[in-house]
Structure 1
Amino acid sequence: MLARLRLQRLADALSSRYVVVEREVIHRSPILLTPFKSDGLIEVDSLERFVALAYDAAGLRPDQVDTGAVILTGAALERANARAIDELFAAQGGRFVCATAGHRLEAILAAHGSGAVARSRERGTTVLNIDVGGGTTKLALCVAGVVEEASAIAVGARNVPLPVPEMADAIVAAANGRGTSRDLLPPLPHTPRPDEIVLSGGVSEHFYGRDRTAHGDRGLALARALEERRARLPAEIVEGREGIRATVVGASQFTVQLSGSTIFVSTADALPVRNVPVVRAEVATLATAATSIEGTGPIALAIPWRGAPRHAALRALGEAILTAAGPHRPLIVALEADIAHTLGRILVDELGAAGPLVVVDGLDLRDLDYVDIGGIVRPAGVVPVVIKSLVFAGG
C-alpha cells in the first residue's frame, strides 16, 4: 500500500514533534499469498517481482518514496530466511525501516488498521479486535483509543492442521479470556468486558460476505463456524474498516511515528539503524539498567528527562548517558522533551562521545522494546521510527 502523508508540527512547550494529520492512499496492490518454496523457505524472487509491479502500477519509482516499513508477520516469521528477507527489502527501500512483528505487535497493528482502536476512542468504549489469519489469531482489547491488552493463539485457516470446529471453539474461548491449548500469549483479562467485537484478517472477508470465493484453504468454513458460535462471543460483532489488509493498514498508521525535528546525528552514516534494544530508566538508575544489554553492540537509552534545559543539567545528563552506554555503539538516546540537538552537541563537543550517536526527541520508548530508526526525511528534518518486539523461530 502506498500513501501520501501530510505532516503538521505540534506547538506544545518543549516540543517540535511532527504528527501525521492526513493520509491519502494512492495505491493498494492485489493480495499475494506468501509464496513458499518446496523446502519451506520464502520465495524471494516472487516477492521482488510483486513489489516491482506494485511500484509500476502506482506510477512511482522506489526513490520517490520517502519512508515506509517492511513487516513480517505470522507464519512467515518461522521461516529460516525470514530475517534475511526483512533486511533485504528494508535495504532496498533506502529509508524504510524493518519490523518483524511478534504476536503482540501484530495484534496491535491489526487493531489499528481495522478501525477498532479509532472506534473505541470515538465512542469511549471497549472494542475487542479479533484478527483471524492463515496461521494465527490475534486479539487486541482496545479501551477508549488505547490497546490495553493483547493475546494470540495458534489457530488459522491455512497453516493449522486442526478440525475447523476445534479452531472456532478456541477463538471463542480466547475472546472470553479463557486459556486454550493453542495459546501463544497469555489470555486476555476477564475485565474490562468488550462492548463490541471487530473481526479482521483474511477470514473476516468471508465472515462479512465481502469475499465468497474459496482460496484453497479453510477460510470459508472457519467463517461459517464463527457465525454459528456468534452468540457465545462476549459482545456483538460489528464491521470494521479493513479486513485482510488490517495489519498492513495498521502498519502505515502505527509504524510511521516521527521524532521531533531537533534530532542530532553524529555522522551521515549513523542512520538507518535497526533492531536496537531499548533500556528505559531514570537518570539515577540508568547505568544499572543498561547492564541488561550484554556486549558492545547498539543500545537505545530511553530517559524520561524533566526540567528546564539548563546547560549544567544537560551536561550531567550527558555524563550519565556515556557512563551507562559504555562501549555500546551505535548509541541511540531517546527523549520526550525537545532537547535532542543541544544534548547531542554537548555529548560530542564537550564530553568527547565517539562512534555513531543519534539523539532523538518526541518519542516514548519502553523497556524491552526494540527500535528501528530510518533516514532523515527532508524538509521536515524528522526520522521515522518503528517500535516493536522481534520474534524469530529458534535456529
Structure 2
Amino acid sequence: MLCQFQGGADSRVFIKTTQKLLTSVGVDIGSSTSHIIFSSILLEKDPQSRSEKFKIKERNILHSGPIHLTPFSDADTIDLVALRDLFLRDYAAAGIDVSEIDTGAVIITGESAKKQNAEQIVEALAGETGKFVAATAGPNFEAVLAAYGAGAVSRSESTGRTIMNVDVGGGSSNISICREGRIAQTAAINVGGRLLATDDSGTIVRLEETGSKVAERLGIKLSIGLRIDADTQKRLASSLAESLVEALQGPPKSDMARMLMMTPPLEATEGIDELTFSGGVAEYIYKTETQEFNDLGRALADAIRVKVTESGMPLHEPEHKIRATVIGAGQSS
C-alpha cells in the first residue's frame, strides 16, 4: 500500500492511500460442478478523479481449488453441509483464513439456482466464508462473469476483435458478445451437459425438467430409473446443440430453440471474429478433458463442434474454460 502524507498549517497529518491490495474469493456453485478461487486485486487511485475513485490495476490468481461435483441430498436440494465442508477444506489447502478475505462473491448458477434451498446456500456460504457481495446469478450476469473470466473481454480490447463467448455448463449456456473491452450483448439458453445423469449401467438417476421437455418433443420417453442408450443420448445432444447454435446466430426460429431460451435472444450477431467456449462442456469441445461423468457432457460437446463447423463460425480457444465463471466472480464482480 502506497501513501501520500500531507501536512497543514495546524500540523495535522492526512494520509492518502494511492493503492490498495485486496484478497478476493470467488465461489461458483453450478448444477454439475462447484469450485472456489482466491485472487489478489491491486487497486490504484484514478489520478483523473477528484473523488477517492480506484481502478483495478492488476489481478493475480493465488490459488485455484479442485473441481468438485456439486453434492445433492436429493434431486431438488443441494447438500449444504457437504458443500461447506468441501470449500472449508479448500481454504485450508490455500493457506488462507476466512478473516483474510476482503471481498468476493458467491454465485449459484444454472439449474442449481432453481433448487429449493438455493437462496439459503448463498446466504449461508456468504456468511461463513468472508466479506462478500453475495448473489444468485441470473443468466445474463452469469454470461458477463464467464466472459470476463474466460478472457474474452480483455482479448476484445487488446485485439480490437469482436468475440462471442459461450459458457456451457450443466444446465445452461450463457452467451456474451464482447467488443472493445465491453459486453455488448448477452443471452442464455437452457442447453447443458447435465440435464440428465446416469449411473454406470446407464440407468437415469437425475433428470432435470428441461431434459424431460426436450425428450418429450423428440418423442423419447425418459424418467428416473429407466435406462438410456448411447444413441438416444446422442440424439438428445444433437437437438440441444442445434438449438444452441441457432441461438448464437440471432432470434431462434425453431420451436425447440424458442422453448429453451431463458432470456430475450441476441439481436445483431454479424461481425463475430472469434467464437470461444468456456464452462465444463468446453473442456470436451477443446479435448482437454477425457474423463466421463455419466451425463450428456461429451455427447453435447461433440455435437456442438459439428454444428459450429457446419455453421462456419470461427472457433477459437479461450484462456480459461471450466473455471471462467468462478474467475469472473472472484476478480470482476
Q: TM-score under structure 1 normalisation?
A: 0.62
- Indicate conservation of the 8 Å contact 1:193/1:234, yes or no: no
Which one of the candidate residues 253, 259, 271 is aligned to 2:331? 253
What residue is the counterpart of 2:136 in the other structure? 100
What residue is the counterpart of 1:207 in the other structure? 285
> Cα distance, 1:191 vs. partner?
4.1
The 1:39/1:231 distance shift into structure 2, 3 A limit, reads closer
SS of the residue corresponding to residue 25 of structure 1 reads strand
The 1:234/1:189 distance shift into structure 2, 3 A limit, reads farther
**2:262 is the alignment partner of 1:184:** yes
The 1:145/1:234 distance shift into structure 2, 3 A limit, reads farther
Q: Look up the equivalent residue of 1:106 and give its one-letter code.
A: E
**2:118 is the alignment partner of 1:82:** yes
Return the alpha-carbon distance in structure 2 between the equivalents of residues 14 and 192 of structure 1.
40
What residue is the counterpart of 2:244 in the other structure? 171
4+ runs of 1 displaced by more than 4 Å? none
- Indicate conservation of the 8 Å contact 2:275/2:314, yes or no: yes
What residue is the counterpart of 2:99 in the other structure? 63
SS of the residue corresponding to residue 228 of structure 1 reads helix
Say which structure is richer in strand: 2
> Cα distance, 1:233 vs. partner?
3.5
What residue is the counterpart of 2:32 in the other structure? none
Alignment RMSD (CA, Å):
1.4
> Cα distance, 1:5 vs. partner?
2.1
What residue is the counterpart of 2:272 in the other structure? 194
> Cα distance, 1:80 vs. partner?
1.4
Which one of the candidate residues 143, 151, 163 is aligned to 1:127? 163
> Cα distance, 1:187 vs. partner?
1.2
Q: Look up the equivalent residue of 1:213 and give its one-letter code.
A: Q
Return the alpha-carbon distance in structure 2 between the equivalents of residues 236 and 107 of structure 1.
20
What residue is the counterpart of 1:35 in the other structure? 71
The 1:133/1:3 distance shift into structure 2, 3 A limit, reads same
Which one of the candidate residues 141, 149, 152 is aligned to 1:113? 149
Return the alpha-carbon distance in structure 1 between the equivalents of residues 312 and 331 of structure 2.
28
The 1:56/1:220 distance shift into structure 2, 3 A limit, reads same
The 1:191/1:211 distance shift into structure 2, 3 A limit, reads closer
Q: Look up the equivalent residue of 1:175 and give its one-letter code.
A: L
Return the alpha-carbon distance in structure 1 between the equivalents of residues 309 and 133 of structure 2.
42
> Cα distance, 1:173 vs. partner?
0.1
- Indicate conservation of the 8 Å contact 2:248/2:269, yes or no: no
Consecutive unaligned residues of structure 1, counting only runs of 5 or more, are 256-395
Return the alpha-carbon distance in structure 2 between the equivalents of residues 13 and 138 of structure 1.
35
- Between 170-179 and 157-166, the greater mean CA deviation after superposition: 157-166
Return the alpha-carbon distance in structure 1 between the equivalents of residues 270 and 182 of structure 2.
13
- Between 58-67 and 201-210, the greater mean CA deviation after superposition: 58-67
CA-to-partner distance for each residue in 1:236-260, whole Å, 9 max, x for gaps?
A: 11110111111011112321xxxxx
Q: TM-score under structure 2 normalisation?
A: 0.74
| Aligned pairs (5 A) from 1:1-395 | 1-38=37-74, 40-159=76-195, 160-161=210-211, 162=214, 163-179=236-252, 180=257, 181-233=259-311, 235-255=313-333
Return the alpha-carbon distance in structure 1 between the equivalents of residues 155 and 237 of structure 2.
30
Return the alpha-carbon distance in structure 2 between the equivalents of residues 234 and 130 of structure 1.
16
CA-to-partner distance for each residue in 1:91-128, whole Å, 9 max, x for gaps?
A: 11342120111010001111111111111111112111
SS of the residue corresponding to residue 244 of structure 1 reads coil
Return the alpha-carbon distance in structure 2 between the equivalents of residues 109 and 184 of structure 1.
17
SS of the residue corresponding to residue 142 of structure 1 reads strand
Count of equivalent residues: 255
SS of the residue corresponding to residue 231 of structure 1 reads helix
Return the alpha-carbon distance in structure 2 between the equivalents of residues 106 and 150 of structure 1.
9
Consecutive unaligned residues of structure 2, counting only runs of 5 or more, are 1-36, 196-209, 215-235
Q: Look up the equivalent residue of 1:167 and give its one-letter code.
A: L
- Indicate conservation of the 8 Å contact 1:128/1:142, yes or no: yes
SS of the residue corresponding to residue 91 of structure 1 reads helix
